[in-house]
Structure 1
Amino acid sequence: MKVFTTTPLFFLALATLLFHTGFTQAQERLPEERDYKVRPIRLGVKIGFPNIVGGNVEYVTPLLNDRLSVSLDYSTIESDWFLSEEESGNTETTDLSYSYIEGGLNYYIFKAGKGLYAGVSYGQMKFEGQTDVNENGMNGTGYIDYNHSSFNVKLGAKLGGLFYFRPEIGYSFSSLPKTIDYQVRYPDGTTERDIYDFEEELASADIIFKGLIANIGFGFSF
């Protein structure tokens, strides 16, 4: 599987800069009085789209009175984890993988480090693998290698203390296409282009192709 671009490194550098800047600012001011403890490190799981299922880490910086956080999501899924050739009901062999990585910033609107927040993020998904193809009596192998990037806006809420629950909705400005082109190779050396239909092959709801982001997260804060 190919490695993602330097986007994660950018967010790591940004998080480091924010941490040092925020720590300096925090030393120069008195903390806001609050009746709860801000637990800045959050480790959890997100389930939904486009994450499918994957890990999430968030750090609440001291910036803006502990209201600005840095967040990173990562998911990777292999098709054979869920579906075998016998279970698929046909003789085709499909070996596909899905990866998603996303980094962004969240701003907690009413309370420091908890409650309702608005966020912006940049995500990259990768869909790759191969599948058997039979066209006009010829058996071939289709090779799928598709990358998709998007800028996103979100609205969510971090509910709880040590253990938290996090519902989140949002919108992607670059929605997922319903079909993609991929290359088919035949044993005689010839190749052709074919179309992979996400909606048909993955039995996907039409709403995910309109830019909707929706997930539920849960985890622990420290």
Structure 2
Amino acid sequence: MTNKSFSQNLQKIDSIEIDTISNLKRFSFGVKFGIPNILGLTGEAVLPIFRNRISPYFDYSSFKLNPDKTSIDLNYTDYGVNIYMNSKANGLYASLGSANLSSLIFYEEIELTDENGNKGLGSAQLKKDINTFNIKLGIKSNSKIFFRLEIGYGIGKIPNNMNLTGSFSYEKDGSYYISNGSSNESFPTIPGISKKGIIIGNFGFGISL
């Protein structure tokens, strides 16, 4: 290869890299639908390191579930890094992150027992946090209005049972009393949550700038 050919090849490579950087969209904002987040917001920023392959992200959602005689308020946050296979911050990527599923569980009508063995129906609530290490595989379109698809799994410890405390009323010898009691209940069914972690699957879209 002559010096002229070598120089021309370098110029072509430089031209491709400059074109890639000039067309790179470093910030993305949008929404995601799926499990366990149901519906939430997402943000991403591409860093100018490792040829634009590293992109920190943050997802947030807040939603409510109402199983039988139970109300569950959930807040889900997921943050970490997306690692793209190319230098354009689109296409196939792997994702590593940490997530927190914070749940406030309220039982409207549950049987409680006090320390004296008295029983009655009452209400109880419990706040429970589930922390997971998330591994995901995703793909993102190369356009200003982008589309994204992700699948993965969150590794963490999911409780089997919960010890609830609350107040209840009961009748004894013709009189009614109010007491504080407890009950051991199974962790409620939440979409995507298994005994050893959280199944992750979502579809999203938004805008890249």
Q: TM-score range with shorter-chain normalisation? A: 0.7 to 0.9
Percent of pairs with identical residues: 26
1:144 to 112, 126, 143: 126
Q: Give the Cα–Cα distance (whole angstroms) in 2 for the partners of residues 197 and 214 of structure 1.
A: 22
Consecutive unaligned residues in structure 2, runs of 5 or more: 1-13, 113-118, 170-177
Q: Map residues 72-87 of structure 1 onto 2, 5 A cutoff.
A: 72-79=58-65
Determine which structure has the larger strand proportion and give its number: 2
**In the alignment, residue 215 of structure 1 is paired with which amino acid?**
N
Partner of 2:17: 32
* 1:182 equivalenced with 2:164 (yes/no): yes
Give per-residue Cα distances to partners, 1:36-83, cap 9 Å, x unaligned: 82111100111112222100000011111111101000011134xxx6
Q: Deviation of residue 159 (structure 1)?
A: 1.1
Q: Which has the higher helix share?
A: 1
In the alignment of these two chains, the number of paired residues is: 181
Contact 2:156/2:196 (CA < 8 Å) preserved in 1? no
Larger radius of gyration: 2
Q: Are 2:110 and 2:124, in contact at CA under 8 Å, matched by a contact in 1?
A: no
TM-score between the two structures when normalised by the length of structure 2:
0.74
Correspondence 1:30-69 to 2 at 5 A:
32-34=17-19, 37-69=23-55
Structure 2 equivalent of residue 215 of structure 1: 202
Give the TM-score normalised by the residue count of structure 1: 0.70
Structure 1: give runs of 5+ residues left out of the alignment: 1-28
Post-superposition CA distance 1:142-184 (Å, at most 9, x none): 2121101011111101113111111101121215445544333
- How big is the alpha-carbon RMSD for the aligned residues of Structure 1 and Structure 2? 2.8
SS at match of 2:141: strand
Aligned equivalents of 2:182, 2:161: Cα separation in 1: 16
- Cα gap change, 1:124 to 1:31, in 2 (>3 Å): farther
The amino acid across from 1:161 in the alignment is: S
**DSSP-derived class of the 1:62 partner:** coil
